[in-house]
Amino acid sequence: MYDTELYRVVAGLYSAQMLSVVGDKSFGLLSIVPKTKEGSPITDFEAQIVRDIASGNNNEVKEWFSIAEYLKSFTKVNGVSQIPLYYSETHGRKIVDNNQNIFVVLSNPNRIALIGYGVVILVVVLVVLIVIKVATRKNRLRHSGKQTDIMK
């Protein structure tokens, strides 16, 4: 299942340039393709840098400065900005499910997990077959030994 919705995200230049590594490190499970607001893939990250043109000096706006300025815009109590309750809800956005229940974790596997399940099942089947083979051989040897004793 692929998500076709665009999400507004701000990242530092270094982090944005490293997004291609996500696909490699996740063995292709995750694919993050930065796009413009129109949906076109971004190839030149430096052209996407947010600049402070209002002050006239055209400097790059750093992430920490943007967050600090945004927090300063909230209502203050005793001089401390208060984050509105609006941000305590997800508003239908994606959320991370940190459910530690083993059945929940195993119920929605990705491709690597399915391969892992297959390998585990294959190993279990092989072990069972080897145990059956050894037990059958011992049983045959035991019965053949009794028959030679009876013949004597």
Q: Could you give phi then psi for residue 78, rounded to 5 degrees?
A: 55, 35
30: tokens are: 């995750």
| Cα–chain center distance at 119 | 21
Asked if 45 and 52 count as a contact pair (C-beta separation under 8 A), the reply is no
Q: pTM surpassing 0.75?
A: no
CA 13/CA 60 separation, integer angstroms: 10
- Supply the pLDDT for residue 1: 53
Q: Is the pLDDT of residue 147 over 70?
A: no
Helix (H) or strand (E) run with residue 99 in it: none
pLDDT in tens, 107-116: 777 778 888 8
User: Helices marked H in 51-97 — which ranges?
Assistant: 63-72
Of these ranges, 50-54, 81-85, 93-97, 144-148, the one predicted with the greatest mean pLDDT is 81-85
Amino acid symbol at 135:
A
d(CA 13, CA 149): 84
Six-digit token string for 22: 């996500």
pLDDT band of residue 150 (cuts 50, 70, 90) is low
- DSSP letter (8 states) at residue 54: T
pLDDT of residue 94: 72
Residue 34 confidence (pLDDT) above 70: yes
Query: Maximum distance among all alpha carbons in the chain?
Result: 110
Give the model's confidence band at 32: pLDDT under 50 very low, under 70 low, under 90 confident, else very high.
confident
* Domain positions in the chain: 99-152
| C-alpha–C-alpha distance, residues 74 and 25, integer Å | 39
pLDDT tens-place string over residues 51-90: 888 878 888 888 888 888 889 999 999 999 999 999 888 8
pLDDT of residue 123: 97
Amino acid 66: pLDDT:
83
Query: Which pLDDT score is estimated for 119?
Result: 95
